[in-house]
Structure 1
Amino acid sequence: MTEAATRWRTPGAPCWVSLMVHGLATTQEFYGTLFGWEFRPGPQQLGPYARALLDGKEIAGIGQLPRDRHLPIAWTPYLATQDVDATAEAIRSYGGTVAVGPLDAGEAGRLVLASDPAGAVFGVWQAAAHLGTALAGTHGTPTWNELVTRETATVGKFYQAVFGYEVEAVVSADFDYLTLHADGRPVASVHGVGHALPRDRGAHWMTYFEVEDTDASAHLVTELGGHVLKPPREGSSGRMATVADPEGAVFTIVRSPR
């Protein structure tokens, strides 16, 4: 087990990110060129599915939506648990919705797809053979997950109750922000944006991917048929840009401070 895999398995910590799309082959080509990912087949319980790899280590998953399903195309983080059935019960108890599962993904593990009380979709993963993302800190790897929602107070209490996070709030009149800690370290954040929440997306989780060069990667996104939604800019976590792939899945690319 790599250090990254060990780190991501902390209960409550994001351990995997997955994307469901209509065009599996074209999406693989987009991310393969952008991030240098290679692909191999993964569990097929929810239809055709491939795992993305860097240097032979598993990074993320991309699956194909059934033709008759018209769901939002979005990156979904999976939060680690040691008992997915108990977590599913807690999600329901505290006002969330369990949409899929609990179900077994072959020998890989056991999963749930759910949404929080504000409607943001997330997954829960109980690892067996598949531990989750096995590499961190290099180009093309997930580096952070942030929940973008209307306000943090209610939804923060939901995640705290379900996953046992310690919560650190930024106290500011004009900034509504929580950092979620698991086992004493920050693992994710919640950003309340009020009426700036996109009407077409609602509350959602945003995945950040590490890149070597934010500006060059943003340019490559457009060359590959994607879109730059917020151009490269300096932020607290490095130089970042918000982009979308050709099917509209939004994510953030960031060059973290070295």
Structure 2
Amino acid sequence: MTEAREPAGPHERRAPGTPCWVSLMVREPAATERFYGALFGWEFRPGPQQLGPYVRALLDGRQVAGVGHLPPDRRLPVAWTPYFASRDVDATADQVRLCGGTVAVGPLDAAEAGRLAIAADPSGAVFGIWLGAAHLGTSIGGVPGTPVWNELLTYETSVVAKFYETVFGYEEEPEVSAGRDHVTLRAGGCPVAGLSGLGHALPGDRGAHWLTYFQVADTGETLLQVTELGGRVLTAPHDTPHGRVATVADPEGAVFSVVEGVR
């Protein structure tokens, strides 16, 4: 994790591999909107409907995330999904397949918003590929209620790090420390995501997955709000070199982390 940076401006294309969106598919959209609206101050507006009912979450009138409706017949986990920028979604999807991953959705056009695909890496962790219109995508950062980091939790990092390096052109920065398996992924020299190898500590009921971090003003106060709004605290707040962090789940079980004092 690093200091939160303002996303690309309204007329800038994001560099390949740059996190550019987070999206959540849920079974009860209205309840989800109430939860995140109260927790982060988000408002919601209709978005592209190619994959079903979908809304964009806005903070101070600027886009931060998306929420879609998961059909009842789709037995998929309710989870936050990060999207990474691409200059050619079809070519990136082909590269995913060549490197041992799978493409579950797309590539397809999302109305005026851009072109996307939803894929999984060789460990099964789901992520999105996105080529957005110049004026769309996460457009605010560095303030409470915005996504600031994405971390892949997996069994071990060596194979999956090579996958992301090949697909998105990342540079790898392994952490050299006893007993810790961690790699920072860099795009254009800037840290953009992390990979953590947890070994047998990886939750067996979830498997490998991406975890999104949202910035908050006060971790303790946020945890109180989470529980009052029907969510759960999964890990107690603790200090890290990057700020005070805790992991929670919303009322439908979508897991995310909150961090105070990002740096």
Bucket of the pairwise TM-score, normalised by the shorter protein: over 0.9
- Residues of 1 paired with 2:94 and 2:63: CA distance? 29
Matched, 1:16 2:33: no
The residue that corresponds to 1:165 in the other structure is: 170
Amino acid of the residue matched to residue 172 of structure 1? S
The equivalent position to 2:59 in structure 1, one of 47, 54, 61, is 54
Helix, strand or coil at the partner of 2:164: helix
Distance apart, 1:128 and its partner CA: 1.7
- Residues of 2 paired with 1:114 and 1:207: CA distance? 17
The equivalent position to 1:116 in structure 2, one of 121, 138, 143, is 121
Helix, strand or coil at the partner of 1:47: coil
The residue that corresponds to 1:33 in the other structure is: 38
Helix, strand or coil at the partner of 2:7: helix
The residue that corresponds to 1:215 in the other structure is: 220
TM-score of the pair, normalised by structure 1? 0.97
**Over residues 156-214 of structure 1, what are the superposed CA-to-partner deviations in whole Å (9 max), with x where a residue is unaligned?**
00000000001000112300000000011000010000000000100000000000000
- Residues of 1 paired with 2:202 and 2:262: CA distance? 28
Matched, 1:125 2:130: yes
The residue that corresponds to 1:5 in the other structure is: 8
Distance apart, 1:129 and its partner CA: 5.0
The structure 1 segments of at least 4 consecutive aligned residues displaced by more than 6 Å after TM superposition are none
RMSD: 1.4
- Is the CA contact 1:211–1:253 (under 8 Å) kept in the aligned structure 2? yes
The residue that corresponds to 2:100 in the other structure is: 95
Distance apart, 1:127 and its partner CA: 1.1
The residue that corresponds to 2:253 in the other structure is: 248
Percent identity between the two aligned chains: 65
Closer, same or farther in 2 for the Cα pair 1:104/1:221, shift >3 Å?
same
Is there any run of 5+ residues in structure 1 with no aligned partner, and where?
none
**Over residues 20-66 of structure 1, what are the superposed CA-to-partner deviations in whole Å (9 max), with x where a residue is unaligned?**
00000000000000000000000000111000001100000000011
The residue that corresponds to 1:66 in the other structure is: 71
Is there any run of 5+ residues in structure 2 with no aligned partner, and where?
none
Pairing 1:232-247 to 2, within 5 Å after superposition: 232-247=237-252
- Residues of 2 paired with 1:67 and 1:201: CA distance? 20
Amino acid of the residue matched to residue 110 of structure 1? R
Helix, strand or coil at the partner of 2:109: strand
Distance apart, 1:5 and its partner CA: 2.8
- Is the CA contact 1:8–1:133 (under 8 Å) kept in the aligned structure 2? no
- Residues of 2 paired with 1:107 and 1:204: CA distance? 29
Helix, strand or coil at the partner of 1:99: strand
- Residues of 1 paired with 2:56 and 2:193: CA distance? 23
Aligned length: 257
**Over residues 208-238 of structure 1, what are the superposed CA-to-partner deviations in whole Å (9 max), with x where a residue is unaligned?**
0000000000111000000000011111210
